[in-house]
Structure 1
Amino acid sequence: MSQDPSTARNLRVGHSERDAVAAILQAAAADGRLSMEELDERLDAALNAKTYGDLEPLTADLGAGGELPSRQPAGPRLPSRSVQGPPPPGYSREDPLSLDGGLSSEKRVGVWTVPPFIRINQGMGSVKLNCLQAIPAAQLIEIEMIGGTGSVVMILPDGWAVDHDRLSKSWGSKTIKVPREPAPGKPLLVVYGGLGMGSFKARPASRSELRKLGR
């Protein structure tokens, strides 16, 4: 006897179902079917989903490859867009995600995807990457530093690691307060390039930052 779809949609989901949907969304972004803004919004919803009914709308318009894990009743599937825009930056070394301190500041915070390739131009401002709720798109993430006089701060979750052997500081400074080797299943950030007269810091979360996240 088949399960009532309305009942199935009310079934609770766990970490494995949420992670499976996150993987589908990341693959769709890599294919150019989702913008980075759409990806961040849907990942946030997926991580906070409680039932299959919460997860279903997040992949319903992705066509093939957008099916949810077992127990999820089949829902309507809309065809993929016939005209697709360019893929999001950050998934090739030739087209990295570029973050620019310039004369002001740039930051990433909350739920966002850390792509495999990032280029940071320090400029004279500041760049802050808060990765406490971020989702890594790869186990190895390359970060190229373009030196300036500004500052770069990375706030990393437990288990994330930074390899800074290829990062020259010149007249600048670098402060690394996270491990060099990642924990199993966690990403390694390889930072290279130069700092100029700027500064680079990679650190774990402070107590106040963890309290804000309820941890």
Structure 2
Amino acid sequence: MNAFPQKPSDSDREFLQAELTRLVGQGRLDLDKYQEILDIVWSTDDNADLMRIRAQFLGDPRGNIPAPQPPAAPPLPPAQPPTQPPAAQFHTGTPGIPMGGHLPQPYNSTPQDVPEQSTMGSIKKTGEWLVPAYSSYKLNGADLHLDLRKATAAAPVVTINVTMNMSSMVLIVPPGVHVDVQMASKNWSDFKVENTAPLPGAPRVILNGVSRASTLKVFSKSPNEPYGFWGQIFGA
């Protein structure tokens, strides 16, 4: 008799996705392979498939199968050069990678392990702040506003995992920083994503997690371009 349920729950899928996302943020899992695995995680109806993925990439949680050696960190995807050369705003040889042209900040590369949570409230981060290689948020009837235009990325690829229920999220990045939205949309959620072509050396943002009856807006605006109250309300 099989002691495990045959069909994985959404929480099983979300938990495994979060663990795989950590591997991407640590440079231990290729982005193309990551996307291929996520397709299986969210399409399979057999819990055994999730167990095999966990055993192969994370090690058997019961300790029977050792975790594989991590692969080399993948190179950033090639990008088309812009019509005008970028203003040397992405300096990859210094600690911390500037998002929008300001000086890099010293940083601790330790990922944010404990998710920030808000119920019927708001979380707002703007100005010069450090974006960890991996961070997570849990929202219930709350608002999340992340402005990365003057922020510093702690890694070439930063992953933001968001679980939101009847909530809203606004993510603003400078031109040239590409946002890869891999978040699952459920229960009439609404996504609006505005992206620009990635610039060489620019950080890349992976946004994943799950949205239930919530809204997501991703905008690309220059660091000096205002984004005030009405922009937050109407997405202007």
Alignment of 1:177-188 (within 5 A): 177-179=194-196, 182-188=198-204
Matched, 1:127 2:127: no
CA contact (8 A) 1:122 1:198 kept: no
How many angstroms apart in 2 are the aligned matches of 1:210 and 1:145? 22
Give the Cα–Cα distance (whole angstroms) in 1 for the partners of residues 192 and 178 of structure 2.
Answer: 13
Instruction: Give the unaligned 5+ runs of structure 1.
Output: 1-15, 27-45, 49-57, 60-86
Aligned: 1:194 with 2:213:
no
Decide whether the 8 Å contact of 1:97 with 1:117 is kept in 2.
Answer: no
Partner residue, 1:144: 161
C-alpha contact 2:185 2:210 (8 A) present in aligned 1: yes
User: 1:174 is matched with which residue?
Assistant: 191
**Higher alpha-carbon Rg:** 1
Q: How far apart in 1 are the matches of 2:176 and 2:151? A: 13
Q: 1:24-44 deviations in whole A, cap 9, x for unaligned?
A: xx6xxxxxxxxxxxxxxxxxx
Structure 2 Cα separation of the partners of residues 176 and 20 of structure 1 = 26
1:149–1:111 Cα change, 3 Å: same
Q: What code does the residue aligned with 1:203 have? A: F
Paired residues of 2:186 and 2:211 also in contact (CA < 8 A): yes
2:116 equivalent in structure 1: 99
Percentage identity across paired residues of the two chains? 20
The 1:177/1:144 distance shift into structure 2, 3 A limit, reads: same
Moved over 3 A (4+): 19-22
Contact 1:116–1:137 (CA<8 Å) still a contact in 2?
Answer: yes
8 Å Cα contact 2:149/2:174 also seen in 1: yes
- Pick aligned residue for 1:153 from 170, 193, 202: 170
Unaligned 5+ segments in structure 2 are: 1-87, 97-101, 229-236
Higher RCO (CA-CA < 8 Å; seq separation 6+): 2
Give 1:21 deviation, angstroms: 11
Look up the match of 1:12: none
Relative to 1, partners in 2 of residues 1:130 and 1:97: Cα closer, same or farther, differing over 3 Å?
A: farther
**Number of the residue aligned with 2:127:** 110
Structure 1 length-normalised TM:
0.52
RMSD: 3.4
Paired residue secondary structure (1:122): strand
Letter of the 1:129 partner, please give it: L
Deviations 1:154-180 (A, max 9, x none): 11111111111x31111211111013x
